[in-house]
Amino acid sequence: MEGDDETSGPMIDEIYANGDDNRPRKPIYSGDQLDIEVYASLYTGRTKIMRLLFVADRCGEKNNTAMQLEALRMAFDEIKKGENTQLFREVVQKIDGRLGSGYDLDVAWAENVDRRAEAKKEKLENELNAYRTNLIKESIRMGYNDFGDFYYAHGQLGDAFKSYVRTRDYCTTSKHIIHMCMSAILVSIEMGQFTHVTSYVSKAEQAPESLDTITVAKLRCAAGLANLEAKKYKLAARKFLETGPELGSHYNEVIAPQDVATYGGLCALATFDRTELKNKVIDNLNFRNFLELVPEVRELINDFYSSHYASCLEYLGNLKANLLLDIHLHDHVMTLYDQIRHKALIQYTHPFVSVDLNMMANAFKTTVAGLEKELEALITDNQIQARIDSHNKILYARHADQRNATFQRVLETGREFDRDVRSMLLRSNILKHEYNVRASRKL
């Protein structure tokens, strides 16, 4: 085990103590219900609404009506501030009169908004046409950009994306290009088109002028999200870890700094080895700023690194309910959790020649039989080199006999070579024969 020289001495004792909770430590944050007010206040714009609706849907599935209605109520209020009547109708339908008369379908408002939107669209069209006849590049760009903003505000994401992308031909400075990229990224994330996100991130990063730190941080986040969605957890972790603290709350329309900590932390835990975890996460000053925002994640990473698996897993268990309510992470929670658990099991067994399964089960707060099954899967996957003595409930590390393995491999390779060459000779002879036959037929 590398990078933990300082813990190697007292480690045995700690592992003994691992299962018992008599160590003085802070009470673990309970998995209290998500405080929706606090949660929603982290975000702005469309993502706030979408996140609230997602929470509402999830709660609806679990029959958590109080929370669902709370989320819907806030979404309703939020939408009322904007101009997205389509979404407004959907939410009203979801509320279904359960929040009293204040939350019914406000037809007058919706029509009013629609009418204004129509008028604005016409105005924008006229303007754009005028710009286009005059061929003023900058104005055309602004015109398309306005169109993009307009469509975005009204929830027509596809059109918004097209309009933003169209500004590209009229970009004159790299600042414009970056603006275009950022808008495209924002819309793509909302649409869930993460391949677009990746391509526009790389486009923005190629800009000739150096970007300001906030933009860099935003791009890192967007790339991280794209990798997360593509299940490339390691890359996602790297991107989130590279995110600078300048991000602050500047990217609230997409991601909150708390999310950076959670996403990055979990992905890193699931995919990094110990040295990487130490160097890139725990000793990473930038990322520490983010971790401070979510103490649970910070604690569980430290627990994991210092081999307090039980409390680490407990933290994870408590966080789980809330993570499942996250619009981006919910699909990946189970995979990440499994990977983290597997890593914990592997790391636990790694330094030992033999491990008492009872003790290990205790450390992981599980039963011996369950642990045996988990270990069996890992051994079959060749992730742990060990064998289980099921009779005495002991796990023995298995040291591959290099000499025997080499002999085996050599003989196997010899056989393969023998077989392959023979069938190759045979095939070439047939080919030769067929070619000759064909050639003689031609003559």
> Which residues of the chain form contacts with another protein (CB under 8 A)?
375-376, 379-380, 387-392, 396, 401, 403-404, 407, 410-411, 414-415, 417-419, 421-436, 439
Q: State which residue, 330 or 427, has the beta carbon closest to another protein.
A: 427
Q: State which residue, 110 or 379, has the beta carbon closest to another protein.
A: 379
> In sequence order, which ranges of 243-351 are alpha helices (DSSP H)?
257-271, 274-276, 285-293, 295-305, 309-323, 333-349
Q: How far is the CB of 174 from another protein (least distance, A)?
A: 42
Q: How far is the CB of 372 from another protein (least distance, A)?
A: 9
Q: State which residue, 331 or 389, has the beta carbon closest to another protein.
A: 389
CA 439 to chain centre: 61
Q: How far is the CB of 406 from another protein (least distance, A)?
A: 9
Quote the CA–CA distance of 387 and 370 in Å, as a whole number.
16
Residues in contact with 134: Cβ distance below 8 Å, sequence separation at least 6, in sequence order: none
Q: How far is the CB of 431 from another protein (least distance, A)?
A: 5
Helix (H, G, I), strand (E, B) or coil at 173: coil
Q: How far is the CB of 417 from another protein (least distance, A)?
A: 6
Helix (H, G, I), strand (E, B) or coil at 297: helix
Q: State which residue, 195 or 423, has the beta carbon closest to another protein.
A: 423
CA separation, residue 66 to residues 54, 90, 103, 396 (Å): 15, 19, 15, 51
Q: Are 22 and 10 in contact (CB under 8 A)?
A: no
Q: State which residue, 12 or 424, has the beta carbon closest to another protein.
A: 424
Quote the CA–CA distance of 343 and 355 in Å, as a whole number.
16
Among candidates 423, 43, 92, 418, which has minimal Cα distance to 253?
43
Q: State which residue, 32 or 381, has the beta carbon closest to another protein.
A: 381
Q: How far is the CB of 4 from another protein (least distance, A)?
A: 28
